[in-house]
Structure 1
């Protein structure tokens, strides 16, 4: 495992870390603490030292599993969680310092921890990024010893660029993958200039970039890849990176031609992201230990060649960019 600096937090995090959305639900499976414990411990055994969760994953059960892991291991594990998505309705007006403070305190209780290494606003409405009083709250929480660092998880590049204007924002969690390339333009440049840690989520476009899906692949009714393809429940860009499923399958077939020796495209897709020096870490999820093993293979393959990088860029620009680039 290799480690990179998480921006101005100064925390050294594993290049491939772990996101726990899959562990916590919305992927067609009910939450299982036994399964969560297996995945989380396997992650730490492999050298992963940064775990990302959220209070809404498994209705708090994911946080409880992460807290149990941290308390049971001797290794130093950095914990990041998120707050805000419990607000109902999830609109700008619902965001108040008092509500967010309560969410942070609940997360600490869920995990049995006194301090969070990183707390992130969880994809709030765009208007929230223009409200200084929301961001000032996290200075108070830091003074009280409840958090060490504050960051944001965003849907759009516009939100990321606005967030990093606040001095206390240390990290941005954002979707970057072969089918979502816009952040690598202006945002990467500005993040590097401000020493912002970049945490990459949805790196495999909800599994599309594994190359294992087909037109008749079945997703369970409770899996967001079934019920949120058009943004029925949350931002469409979270599911298959906002790309039409069949269009994505066609683009993946083109990618396979670039990597004919790779039966599993996931390690290649993750390696592509790691070739950006601005990226601090990737947080692919895993709903079973084998998924974790697949993700970690990215550490053992060489960088993509200039010809392969050009091929990926061409597929994106010809098939994907005209439809999604300016949306997120």
Structure 2
């Protein structure tokens, strides 16, 4: 969700030297590659690009035109590679409004997949908050509305199901970001059959592999993955170290791609949503959706290598 370590150093070491490119080439988006892969949303069969964009902290820029200009470039890079998912929340301060203001001026605004959340208690309070979110994001219909961290979920799930029937939202889902909530997510999946579930999963935080992914597969639920970089701790772990040569055989040319490709090699992952406010990081993220994905043997090797650092 946030990247504490300055990722620019890692990218210089592992991407540019290997490709013979200048850093300006990457940050200016001069590299033209294929579109990223997509996976199906089980409840409808709709194809969704496997890498999107989280907005926690990164889009909380208020009225700063300078920062909004940079964020517009971030969205441009995502769109260039075929990405579409933007995930926000009323919890994220000005992020929803910033998303709405920026995207309303984009020619491709209606090709994006807008997701936000309800984060309050009480039916009417939830309705007011969701309506406010839709106004801020300038959407007549929200692609995905989620119950943030399961706050008052029994109340909101009734509203979300009704809104889906009425066409006010296309999908509804539930979210959390800690391992201890995975059991609750599983129980709600079994009971209410949401379209989406969002949760934490990364190369060093694999609690979801114990049973949550099995439940997701059985009940055919789409997934959004948060905390892919463990709040930046993964980049701190590999600081000053190069990506191993054997990883490059799977089109892994940076540590960001190493971490994201491990997640995406789990076929029950529909889309991962790392947050960034930097265009060159967006490019690096999107490249993880290109080329080969690790098989189980390589996944094990990736874990072992990281544990040895």
Length-normalised TM-score, structure 1: 0.70
Q: 1: CA distance between counterparts of 2:262 and 2:295?
A: 10
Deviations 1:157-197 (A, max 9, x none): 11210221243511001111011101123111111111100
Q: Summarize the alignment of residues 218-297 of structure 1 with structure 2, pairs less than 5 Å apart.
A: 249=237, 264-297=254-287
Which residue of the other structure, out of 50, 59, 80, is the alignment partner of 1:15? Answer: 50
Compare relative contact order (CA 8 Å, sep 6+) and give the higher one, 1 or 2: 2
Q: Which residue of 1 aligns with 2:41?
A: 6
Report what 2:90 is aligned to: 55
Q: Which residue of 1 aligns with 2:148?
A: 122
> Structure 1 residues 153, 308: closer, same or farther in 2, change over 3 A?
same
Unmatched runs of 5 consecutive residues or more in structure 2: 1-35
- Aligned partners of 1:314 and 1:144: how far apart in 2? 49
Residues 60 and 94, structure 2, Cα contact 8 Å, conserved in 1:
no
- When the two chains are superposed, the root-mean-square deviation of aligned CA atoms in Å is 3.0
1:311-322 to 2 correspondence within 5 Å? 311-314=301-304
Question: Which structure 1 residue ranges, 5 or more long, are not aligned?
Answer: 88-94, 214-248, 320-328
Q: Which aligned pairs between 1:124-203 and structure 2 lie closer than 5 A?
A: 124-125=150-151, 128-129=152-153, 131=154, 133-155=155-177, 156-203=181-228
**1:188-212 deviations in whole A, cap 9, x for unaligned?**
1111111100111111112233x3x
Q: Which residue of 2 aligns with 1:97?
A: 123
Partner of 2:22: none
The residue number in structure 2 matching 1:219 is none
CA distance in 2, matches of 1:273, 1:279: 7
The residue matched to 1:310 in structure 2 has which SS?
A: helix
Whether the 8 Å CA contact 1:5–1:280 is kept in 2: the answer is yes
Give the whole-Å Cα distance in 2 for the aligned partners of 1:3 and 1:66. Answer: 24
Confirm or deny: 8 A CA contact 2:39 2:49 kept in the other structure.
yes
Distance 1:163 1:258 in 2: 43
Query: Distance between the aligned counterparts of 1:4 and 1:291, measured in 2?
Result: 22
Question: Cα distance 1:70–1:118, how it changes in 2: closer, same or farther (>3 A)?
Answer: farther
